[in-house]
Amino acid sequence: MQVFWFIPTHGDSRYLGTGEGARQVSYDYLKQVAVAADTLGYEGVLIPTGRSCEDPWVVASSLLPVTKNLKFLVAVRPGLHQPSLAARMAATFDRLSGGRLLINLVTGGDQAELEGDGVYLDHAQRYEQSAEFIRIWREVIARSHAGESFDFEGKHLSVKGAKLLYPPVQQPYPPVYFGGSSEAAHDLAAEQVDTYLTWGEPPAEVAKKVADVRARAAKFGRTVKFGIRLHVIVRETDDEAWHAAESLISKLDDDTVIRAQSAFSRMDSEGQRRMAALHAGARNKAPTLGTNVSSLPPEGALTPGGGPSAFSRTRADLEISPNLWAGVGLVRGGAGTALVGDPKTVAARIEEYAALGLDTFVLSGYPHLEEAYRFAELVFPLLPRKLRDKLPGTALNGPFGEVVANNYLPRVSQS
């Protein structure tokens, strides 16, 4: 099992959808989160990509000298990067970091954002381009170890004599991660990537995805690893955790939710559609993956009386599976669900996903600095032994915690 954390380059806060309790995206803060993740024993960190984020390659490079073991899951964007240039960037980063690079292949699902970046391909064309991109990227890097060049002529991309002179540390190339819920995405994952990531859907839905990608990969004679992208809200008791979940959206007003959902509904991402369908804007009880988000009120509409929503039925409306809460997705694009509960409950839910064949867990929580500590301190001790053996402090003799009365070591809990 690998547990990753998240670098919040698009902002961080104690409350979603409002400037209250917000934190500046500064280098000092991002460094704090990265050093915490490195020190606490997280395997790596995901750095998001898109126009709402600071550039992931610049951020990752800036965090290399302040971390020791942390791996960086960094995006390549077909249509924005050329594959040969992306190969050189990846090889350089991998060498300078001593093999700490992981690649996140991002096709994109927001047409307005893509057009702003000069990409005018539709959904099907973007996946065709992405398949060509990652094939060139992989071959250029893999052949670099033998000093070979690569030719490719595709529908969207072509290279002639593409060559990488300085190979990366990792062979044949830094591992490729990828997520997508459409048929085209599953085909791409099955044929070319190393780890398929799903957003946090209920276990039964995740199991269907795993089975489908695994079967498609088998047709190519390949095996694919699997992972999941989730938020976490863990506290010492279940009641505290659910109170924290409610607090996270307590400053949201209905207009903000409606505008966010209206924007999400215009995207052509199947994964985003599935995320939105899980909560249906919190207006309907028992939302399902078949919910039509286009039935939401128009952008700018207000519920009677306007102002903040009470969200008095938060858990009943938004707990879409035991301890899986869809409240984050009310206003956040991409991963919109969180595991909520006390440490034993959250650990049990993680084990439930692991039993489906998932071995990578890419987690985050608000605020990201504090939640990184909470999860590591409360849940890491309950996860498989192999992970616990890697945690800082296991080879040290202490003391841990504040010494009592200048004389006594703190008592170690037996729970």
Q: Residues in the chain, how many?
A: 415
For strands 158-162 and 176-179, give the pairing.
Answer: unpaired
Distance CA 133, CA 56 (A): 19
pLDDT of residue 291: 39
pLDDT of residue 371: 98
pLDDT of residue 399: 56
Structure confidence by residue, pLDDT tens digits, 104-146: 999 987 888 888 988 898 989 999 999 999 999 999 999 999 9
Confidence class for position 303, pLDDT limits 50, 70, 90: very low
Q: What are the residues whose beta carbons fall under 8 Å from the beta carbon of 238, sequence distance 6 or more?
A: 341, 342, 345
399 cis-preceded (ω within 30 degrees of 0): yes
CB contact burial 3-36 (16+ within 10 A = b; e otherwise): bbbbbbbbebbbbbbbeeeeeebeeebbbebbbb
Q: Mind listing the domains of the chain with CATH numbers?
A: 2-76+175-239+336-388 (3.20.20.30)
Residue 359 confidence (pLDDT) above 80: yes
Taking residues 301-329, what's their average pLDDT? 66
CB distance 365 to 232 below 8 Å: yes
User: Which residue type is seen at 175?
Assistant: P
Instruction: Choose among 321, 388, 389, 319: nearest CA to 349.
Output: 321
172 cis-preceded (ω within 30 degrees of 0): yes
Out of 20-34, 294-308, 350-364, pick the least confident: 294-308
The full DSSP string for 231-300 is: EEEE-SSHHHHHHHHHHHTTT-BHHHHHHHHHHHHT---HHHHHHHHHHGGGTSSS--TT--GGGSPPTT
Q: Which residue blocks in 98-155 are alpha helix, DSSP H? A: 111-116, 123-144
Distance CA 269, CA 278 (A): 15
Residue 299 confidence (pLDDT) above 60: no
pLDDT of residue 334: 79
Regarding predicted confidence, which is higher, 272 or 29? 29
51-55, 101-105, 401-405, range with greatest mean pLDDT? 101-105
> For the chain, what is the mean pLDDT?
87
Out of 94-103, 152-161, 398-407, pick the least confident: 398-407
- Rounded to the nearest 10 degrees, what angle do helices 368-378 and 27-40 cross at? 10
- Token readout for 5 is 């954390």
Distance CA 238, CA 325 (A): 13
Taking residues 350-370, what's their average pLDDT? 97
Residue 189 confidence (pLDDT) above 80: yes
Instruction: Choose among 199, 211, 342: nearest CA to 278.
Output: 199
Residue 37 confidence (pLDDT) above 90: yes
Regarding predicted confidence, which is higher, 71 or 271? 71
Structure confidence by residue, pLDDT tens digits, 337-349: 999 999 999 999 9
Residue 402 confidence (pLDDT) above 80: no
Whose tokens are 């047709």? That residue is 219
CB distance 124 to 100 below 8 Å: no
pLDDT of residue 369: 98
Structure confidence by residue, pLDDT tens digits, 57-96: 999 999 999 999 999 999 999 999 999 999 999 999 999 9
Out of 115-124, 170-179, 192-201, pick the least confident: 115-124
CB atoms closer than 10 angstroms to residue 271: 23
Instruction: Choose among 107, 136, 104, 105: nearest CA to 121.
Output: 107
Out of 116-120, 134-138, 211-215, 331-335, pick the least confident: 331-335
308 cis-preceded (ω within 30 degrees of 0): no
pLDDT of residue 308: 45
Residue 280 confidence (pLDDT) above 80: no
pLDDT of residue 72: 98
- Rounded to the nearest 10 degrees, what angle do helices 183-192 and 203-219 cross at? 50
pLDDT of residue 297: 38
pLDDT of residue 390: 57
- Token readout for 397 is 């003799």
- Token readout for 142 is 């893999």
Q: Residue 338 is inside which H or E element, if any?
A: strand 338-341
Q: Which residue blocks in 3-122 are alpha helix, DSSP H? A: 27-40, 56-63, 83-97, 111-116
pLDDT of residue 206: 96
pLDDT of residue 132: 97
Residue 286 confidence (pLDDT) above 70: no
pLDDT of residue 333: 78
